[in-house]
Amino acid sequence: MKARRGSPNRGSIAVTGAARGIGRAIAFNLATDGWRVYCLNRKTPESYGSDLSRAARARIVPVTCDVTDSRSVNATFEAIRESTRTLHALVNNAGMLLGGPAKTFPIPDFERVMRTNATSVFLVSQAAYSLLAAARGATIINLGSFYDRLGVKNNAAYCASKAAVGAITRCLAVEWAANQIRVVNLAPGFVLTDINAAYLGRADIQRSMGTAMPLGRPGTTDEVAQFVAGLLAAPVPLLTGSTVYLDGAHGLVLAR
C-alpha cells in the first residue's frame, strides 16, 4: 500500500475484521489518511501495523472483539466511548464463508454464517449508534458481496447472509437518516487476498476469469480500500441505502 500524506486527527473510525484481507487494507489505508482507526478483531496479530509509517501506526488502535457476541460488542463500544465522543464512520467488514450442498448443509453452519455475516452488522451498528449520531454526519459502510443477487451452487448460506446485509443497510438508512447517518452496502466481486490466493491462482479459475470477468482479473484489497476512503472523503447525504457493486461488471456477465 502506498503511503500518502494524511491530515492528522481527521476523526475516529471503527473497522471490524481488520486483521487481514480487505479489512486490514481498509484500516491501514484510513490510518495512513489521518484517521484514528479502532481495529476490531477476535485476535490481533503480534506484528499488526509494522509495515505502516510511525505516524499511521500510532493511529491504529487494536481492539479484541467477537462481533458475534453481544456482550463482547457492547463492552467494546463502551470502551471506545471512554476514549472518544464520536465515531465518524463504521465499517462492518467481518465475515466468513462456509459452503456445501444445500440438501445436506448443516443448519448450525448456516446459522453460524448468518450470525457472522449479517447479525453482526446489525449488532455492531446498534452498539455504535450513539457515537455515530453524535458526529452529526457519520457513515456506515457494510461489506456485502455481488453474490447477494446471484444463484451460486453450494453457497446458499453465504448468498443469503449477504442479501440480508443489503436489507439491513436499506432499513438503517431509512431509520437513521434523521440523525445524519448514511448507510451504504459495498458489494465487491472476487478480491485477491492471502486467504483465496491459492484458489484464484488455479489454472481453471484463471481460464474462467478470462471469460467471465470483463477486466480479466479479480479486484485487489487496495482497490476496495481506496473506494472506502473515497466514500468517506465525499460525504454526499443522498448516497444512502444503496448497494454499490465493485465487481468490474463480473456480476452482469454470463460465463461462456
Catalytic residues: 158
Backbone angles phi, psi at 138, to 5 degrees: -100, 170
What is the secondary structure of 165-213 as a DSSP string? Answer: HHHHHHHHHHHHGGGTEEEEEEEE--EE-TTTHHHHTSHHHHHHHHHH-
CB 39 within 8 A of CB 27: yes
Interior angle at CA 201, CA 198 and CA 203, nearest 5: 125
As given in the structure block, the three cell numbers for residue 22 are 480487505
If we measure between CA atoms, which residue out of 74, 66, 62 comes closest to residue 126? 74
